[in-house]
Every structure is written in C-alpha cells, then in structure tokens.
Structure 1
Amino acid sequence: MTRLKGWRGRLGLAGLALAAGLAASAGTPGKAEAGGTLIWAMPAEMGLYDPHVACGWLTKNVTHMIFDGLVELDLTDPNATYAKLRPALAEKWEISDDGTVYTFHLRKDVKFHDGTPFNAEVAKWNYDRFSNDKAPHYNKQANAFLGYYARWIASSEVVDEFTFKVTLKEANYEWLQSGQSSCGQPEMVSPAAREKYGDEALPLHPIGTGPFVFVEREQNVKAVIERNPNYWGTPPKLDRLIVRPMQDPSTRLSALRAGEVNMVTEPPWDEIEGLVGEGFTLLTQPNVPSLWYAQFNLKNEALKDPRVRKAINMAINRDELAKQIFKGTARGEYGMLAAGNFAYDAKFQPFGYDPEQAKKLLAEAGFKEGTEIEFDLFDYGWGEQWEKWVQRDLKKVGINVKLNKMEWISYLGKWLQGMQNPTAMNSMGWGWSVPLWTTLVTRCDHQAPNGWNMGAYCNDKVDALYNEARKTRDEAKATELYRQANQIVMGEDAAFLPVVSYYNPILLAPNVTGFVNAQENWYDFTLVSVEEKK
C-alpha cells in the first residue's frame, strides 16, 4: 500500500582521491549479508516521480530504481573511465549502417509493479507520450524535458510483440546514451497507471518495472521504496531505501553521527577528514561528469569582448580553489567537456592562472577598473563558497562582482529562461556521460528558453564540428572533433568559466557495504547491503 503526505510537485537538481593521508575510493570492499535499510540524508528535496518530467540528480536516484529504460548505464565498476550502456528492458539492440534506425529486442518476462505486462506496444506508448504530438496521451511537458532526446525521433513502431523500432531524423550515434540523463528520462511508466491517475497525479503513484517499489513519500521529510520481489533481473540486496531531505549540512552530519542515517552526500568539505577519523567511509569518484562552471551572458555589454572573458578565466586560481575550498574533493577544470565521457581531456588548459596577463587583457579591451557585474548563484546547502572565491579573485584584477543568491527552485526557474541583463554570469553543476551534453549548452540552436545555452553563445564553426561528431561512428574521430570544438569554445571564445570537476564525496556508516560511487551522479542501490545493528 502506498502513502503520500503533503507532497506537491517540485524540481530538484544538483551540480582525485583526497589529499595524501586521507584514504578515499569509489567502492566499499567486502560483502555483507543481503538486506537492511539504507537511509540517505540528501541536501535538498527531490522533484516529480514521473521520469518523463523528472529533473535532477537527486530525483533520478529514486526514479531509476522504480523505473527501467530500454537500456541503462553500468554503474557497477568504480574504476571505469566512464559509464557504458548495458541492456535493461531491451535484451539487445541493433543500429543500422546509416545510424538512423534502432531496433530493440525486448525481454519477455517483465511486468510492471501493478501487474501490467511490458511489451513493444507499451514501449511505443511511452515513446509516443514524449515524442508524438499526434498521440492522444502526448504530454507537452514530457516533450519539453525530453526534447534533447525526442527531437531526433522521426517515428517509432511495433515490429512484433517484443520488437520495437525507433527511426531518427538523421544519424546521431550518441542518441541512445544521451537518454541516460537526469533531466527528462525515457524510462517506461505503466500505461494503466497513467490511465488511472492521469498525468498530474501519476508522480504520486509511480509504477515502473524496476528493482524497487514505491511505498510512501512525505514532502521535505522522507520517501521510501522497497525491494521488488518480482523483479525481472537480479533482485536488490537491500530491503528498503529511505531518502531524507536535509538541506543544512550540520543537520546531515549530526544525523549520521547519531545513527539516524547511514549515508550522507555533500558533506561539509572541511569536516571530511575528521569524519573519516571517526570511522565513517569516504567514497569519491574523479571520473563523474560533474562540472561546476559559470556561463557568461554574451548579451551583457561588459562581457561582449572575448578578451574580458579570457581575463576572467585567467584571474581564477582554480587549483588553489579546489585545494582550499573543496579539500581535495575536486580538481581545477578548464574546458567544457565534462569528465566521465569518451572525449574528455584532463590535460586541456588553453590558459592558466595569470592575474597579471588578465589585467593587461582588460586594459586592452578598455574595461573600466571597478566595473561591477552580477553573478547569479543558487543555495544547495554548501553556501556560496566557490562563487565567493571567484568574487575575490576577480576583485584583484579590477572586476567587482555582485552575488545574487537564490533558493534552488527559484533559481532554476530563472536559469531555464536564459540570462537577461543585468545578469552577466550564472552558475551550474552538470555534465553527462556523453559529450553530446556540451553541444546542448553551447549550440546556436539550443539557446534558452528553447534549450540549455543560457548565455546566447553562438559559433557556426563549433556547430559544424558537433554535427560531424555526432554522425561519426568512430569514437576516436568523434573525440578529435569534440576536442577541436572545445578549443574554440574556450581557447578562442572563452564563452564559459569552468571552475572544477567535482568528485561527489559520499560518507557511509561502517555497516554499509557494496556501495559503488560510479561515473554518474546516481547510484545502483541494488548492490548495497546494510548490516542491521543487533
């Protein structure tokens, strides 16, 4: 029986080992008896439990345990460079030679939590919901959230009971993996549930085919999911997962120390070393696609000259910022290809920390010393520490920065509309397991409010490289094309201010085993066990 109290829909998103002496890894060793309850103190409330309109890493952590897609990311290897696709509801699939037709061969033994059988008709029903505006159950909001994925679809069809085909408008070899996103997820929802509850109430009654079944949710208090005894795949070890939103970092740590929770994300960085000393397990993941950056508003008069934008990049001491603020849970980043995808280049650095050269570039550009620019940022439970560092470094070269801090939901609403003057910069933490993400935040035809390019950046040469890359089946060739584009975006145009790649530090109680901090911002909870206290 499911219960839900006080819930109303909200959106939630988030954005090296530790320094010597702190042992950190991506997975916990050893095995424990299956079972137990994992209680996670997360830094914010989640969004809607309808994968087609869900947005945010925190939300994805629950929805991808309730719902399955045709494919999924393999999140079981903490040492992989990036997460790769593996079969889920599709046992296998083929891609046509021209890269436009995807044929999925579906599992025959799958049922939704409400008993509805899964088959090709259901797969098409789901794809029609977010991609076919002629379908009676088409959901415009789902199409908006899944636009990055649905925009490529020309048609979908049922070949037979367990064969489903999708035809794209043009070749895109990253299309399938691009669906492994936290904002709009092409996972399978029960048509019977949607018929019963309608689109508005469906998130209150999430029914999928996944390894966990929804039990209850109380807004800003907790959500509970339990092991699905009829799961088609390997059953979870956990009996249940409870997530508890706790925005205040000290509250999360107090709950961990008191044994009220046994997992904490976004721990205060300056307290991590002490907590490890107390016996808690720290996991980090240097290959997670979690790029923290600021985008420049190219419509803002102060930032139109690329020399000013290059100067801002040169003025920030990223490496020291990562060391002093993040305490070894991040590294300085200089490009807009996030870690955790095949095209990432950890050595990319078109310009480093050089405040004197920054001053010269500002003078050449005629930038008036002391000019103030506005920087929008969001409160996610850690304060504006890195943004204040940026503010201090820019003041040293003659740029005054006004920080505009907002609660996350308000910030996201403004962010999705794109930057408007007087805002000159805004912040975000994001990234995907495919370089296609970079195109979504930089392409000319992805400018807000119809895309995620929030600063009106546009360079036709960059878009041409992207077009060639996505049509290229050869990963090495695609990598070279994406890196050429990155060189233009940052080396020539300096359209962004990448700051750090974040390692997603997680603290676990000693009785939690099997947890893998993989190359994404969500986790495979089927692997985890918790030894209950006697």
Structure 2
Amino acid sequence: MASAAAAGDGGTLVVGSYQEPTVYDPNHQYSWETYRVDRHIYESLLAEDLSKPAAKGPPDLVPALAESWQVSDDATTFTFHLRRNVKFHDGTDFDAHAVEFNVRRFHDPAFEFYDVKANAFMKAVYGDLKSFEVLDSHTIRYTFNHPFRDFLRMLPQGNYVSGIFSPQALKRYGQDGLAQHATGTGPFRLVTRVHGEKTELARNDQYWGTRAHVERVVFRPITDDATRLAALQAGEIDILTRTPADAVATLTGSGYSVPESAGAGLLYLGWNFRNRFAQQLPVRQAIIQAIDREGLAKTLFKGHALAAYSILNPGNTAFDPKQRDYAYDPEAARRLLAGAGFKDGDIRFTIATDEANQPSIEWIQRDLAKVGIHVDILSQEWLTYTSNLPKLAPEVALTSMEWGFVTPLWVRIVYQGYVVSRGGAELVGLELKEAVETASREVDESKAIAAWQHANGLLQQQAATVPLVSFTRYFTTSAKVRGFNVPAQNWYDLSRVSLSA
C-alpha cells in the first residue's frame, strides 16, 4: 500500500511537450514524448533509478513489479519473483498470469488475444524468445535461444515497451481500445486524452509504492517553440520539453532552472539505401564531411548541444569520444564527389524531417549546397512524419530522428532499423552484420563493450548513419517545481516532483 503523502502535497503539474504522443498502449507506442507520459501509467518488471543525476552516468536498474531476479551464467534464462499485493488501476490483480497474458499477446500466434501489430513492435526485444513459463503465481521465467545480456536493461526502455497492462482491460476494450483506456499499475492513472490538446493523469492513491506528490499531471502538446516558451513564461506550464536554445540564457537569468545534462539521445540522420545516391559509399562519406556539426552545435543550438561523431551517444555505456567518423572537410568532400564522377548539381535528393528538426535540416541544406549537392526538404508534423517513414519515396535519401539508448545494444537497433530494413545490408557488408551478432551475444560486460565499439567502428567506416548533435539543455522548470531530476536517460520520474505554493 502506498505511503502517506507529505504535508503540502497536491496540485496539478503541467508539462509542455514538443510533440503529440502516439498511443498509450505499451506494445504499440513509440516516441519519447509518449513514454514520458505512459511510463507513469504502466510499469515493467524492472525500473531505472531516475533520481540519479545525469553527471553520475546511466541510471541503475531497480526492482519494480519484480522484487528480485536471477540470470543464468550464459544470459539465456531470466527468472523473476513478482511483487505481491499489487493491483491494476481497474482493481484486478497483478500476478504471473497477468504477465503471461501480456507476453502471449505479442509472442504466441496461437493465443486468443495475439496481436500482429504488437508482435511487430516488440520483435526487437522478444524475437529470440524461446519460451515463457509461469513457475507459480508470482514467479516467471523467460528463456532465449541465444545469450541476451541486455534483456534487463531493455525492460524499462521507451521503445518496444514491456510495461504490463491489465488483461481485463484489453479483453474489455480490445486491441486498439486499450490505448484509450490505458490500465496499468503505476503511480498515476489515465483520466482523459484529447488529441492535440492534453493528456490528464490522476494520482493512484492505491499505488503499491510511495504515493506521488502531485494530485494531477497534465501533458500539453505544444509543437511550436515560441508558443511553448510563451506558455512557460505565462505560468501556464511548469516543465518545458526541448528548450529553445536561444532562450536558455534568458530563462536562467529569470529564475527558471535549465539543468545541464548529457542524455541518452542524439539527433541524427538515417539513410534510405534505396536512393541511388545513398547507395554509394563516397557520396555518404562526402555528405558527412560536408556537414559542419561543430558549427551546428555552436550556432543553431547556441552551444547547448555537442557535435556528434558517433551513433553511440554520450550517455551510452559504450561511448568512446575517440571513436569519430569523418571530420568536417568540404574540400575533401568535393574531391570524393569528383572522384565518383559527380559535378556540381548532379546530386539532388530530399531529406525528410519532422517540424521540430526542420531548422537543423535547413542548416544541412546550406552546407551541402556548398559542395554542389542540392537538397529538397520535406517537413511534416510528427505523427504524419513517422507514419510515412516505412514507405519512403526513392527520392528521399535521408531522414531525421531524435533517439538513443544507454545500452550499446543501440548499435544493433540502428543497424536493423536504419540499414537492414532500408535496403543497406549488402551495401555495408557482411563484416558489420557479423560484428553486430557477435556483440549481441557476448555475456561478459567488458568484452561486450569492446565488441560493440568494434561494430560501431565498422558502422562509421561505412558512413551508415549521420550523427549530428546531442542536446545538453533539454528541460526547463519553473521556480515552483521541486524534485525534478534530469537523468542520463530520455525520460523522467514525475512521481517525485512536487509544487511549492
């Protein structure tokens, strides 16, 4: 049962989000702005200690719906002992059979409530799952075909989400209805969602853990930077997401907190290898050499971002600042293009982006023009943009994304999601594929990190992605917000936050 709230607790916390969330179904959702909401509704077997400051490194894994666990020496078998006396928001019991229902939904085609869409979303984590067993009412076991050292770290991640929902809710509302009636075990419960306007959560006073401080949390999607900033300054929101870089100095001088952090994410470009220019290594290398990433970080982001030369972001456990791809050198880029037989104006393609990242793409457009490459920009609002990513037109050579993980398994996710699925596996070579598989199955942590760094080096040699920047001033809080921590992760814990009078 939840502990009592401290004196003075209460009130409504308002968060200004920079994107419209997707859906509040843990097996259907994607995007950080979605997970920043529904991680407070749904919980996984493990959680992360999001009270750990970013400067102290990735958050530690801590018990959540599982009180303890054991991992076999070969990292193929994971046994979890579940927390007792936990209720879903609808009053039904959380136990081993509830977890079994969740797993069978996305893994067992013979299950009555199997969902093809959920299977597609969850395959990156559970595609190699050999078996799931209920050992007793509060003990479960996952067994994988191959070693999967990163499984525990993947459980509380914001994509391929392993949050546990109420089986009764899915039975009642259906596969697509669960998102409108999100029912988990977390410190907050869903009250309402109005697309384009707000998502409102209420404190779960029957929560098994420490009761949240605030009574309600409202997430308001405000996609325009200036409008979102004005809402903060007018006192309409308490926490601002993705702080406009040119406002940091003004905000810090006006009583707001804009904490510095090196998170788990970065802004980068992914290739569409079905584009004829993206298929050529000299062109990919030249494009990277033509982009002034230091200038992008210092000018467009006013120094509140770090130039990125690796897809392994600073918050990743395998990050090595010495691993760098191709340095900024427009003259070398011109020589590469000429050597490949291209003259000024011969190369023309489209970069697709969401609206939030359009200014960065416009910067890149100007840089590439300097080496004779013409870029058209296709900019769309987030939900439209992401829905179109699986069906890219051949004239689109690059797409923007803001993503990243603290685990080096991120390299495999990038390889599968931005190389293999986009037609680039043969182009970048068998050596990279084998390096990713070797690193994925390594059990020893130090050996695994070395293996991931090797795979990352091959990824860099092939110019298989275009890292741009990682942000260092992402959130802003008003003076009345207490207890908000920015961890070395892409989300936060609002159950620890309170509001002063």
Same fold (TM over 0.5): yes
Deviation string 1:484-509 (CA, Å, 9 cap, x unpaired) is: 1111111x211221111123511111
Aligned twin of 2:114: 138
2:486 is equivalent to residue 517 of structure 1: yes
Aligned twin of 2:257: 281
1:85-484 alignment runs, 5 A limit = 85-286=61-262, 288-380=263-355, 382=356, 384-417=358-391, 419-443=392-416, 447-448=420-421, 453=422, 458-484=428-454
Distance 1:68 1:101 in 2: 21
Distance 2:56 2:390 in 1: 32
Q: CA RMSD in A?
A: 2.0
Deviation string 1:436-488 (CA, Å, 9 cap, x unpaired) is: 1221221499733xxxx575554221121222212222221111111111111
Distance 1:169 1:339 in 2: 31
Aligned twin of 1:3: none
TM-score, scaled to structure 2 = 0.94
Aligned twin of 1:64: 39
Identity value in percent: 36
Deviation string 1:277-315 (CA, Å, 9 cap, x unpaired) is: 2211112321x1212111223333223331221111111
* Amino acid in the other structure paired with 1:342: T
- Assess if the C-alpha contact under 8 Å between 1:129 and 1:142 holds in 2: yes
1:163 positional shift: 0.4
1:30-41 alignment runs, 5 A limit = 33-41=8-16
- Assess if the C-alpha contact under 8 Å between 1:514 and 1:527 holds in 2: yes
* Amino acid in the other structure paired with 2:480: N
TM-score, scaled to structure 1 = 0.88
Aligned twin of 1:17: none
Distance 1:421 1:198 in 2: 37
2:482 is equivalent to residue 508 of structure 1: no
Distance 1:446 1:123 in 2: 33
- Assess if the C-alpha contact under 8 Å between 1:116 and 1:192 holds in 2: yes
* Amino acid in the other structure paired with 1:493: Q
- Assess if the C-alpha contact under 8 Å between 2:269 and 2:467 holds in 1: yes
Decide which moves more: 367-376 or 327-336: 367-376
CA change 1:445–1:49 in 2 (3 A) is: closer
Structure 1: any 5+ residue segments left out of the alignment? 1-30
1:80 positional shift: 2.5
Decide which moves more: 337-346 or 40-49: 337-346
- Assess if the C-alpha contact under 8 Å between 1:444 and 1:463 holds in 2: no
- Assess if the C-alpha contact under 8 Å between 2:273 and 2:419 holds in 1: no
Distance 1:59 1:223 in 2: 10
Partner-residue secondary structure (3-state), 2:39? helix
Partner-residue secondary structure (3-state), 1:384? helix
- Assess if the C-alpha contact under 8 Å between 1:293 and 1:498 holds in 2: yes
* Amino acid in the other structure paired with 1:39: V
Distance 1:350 1:193 in 2: 48
* Amino acid in the other structure paired with 1:499: L
Distance 1:309 1:444 in 2: 18
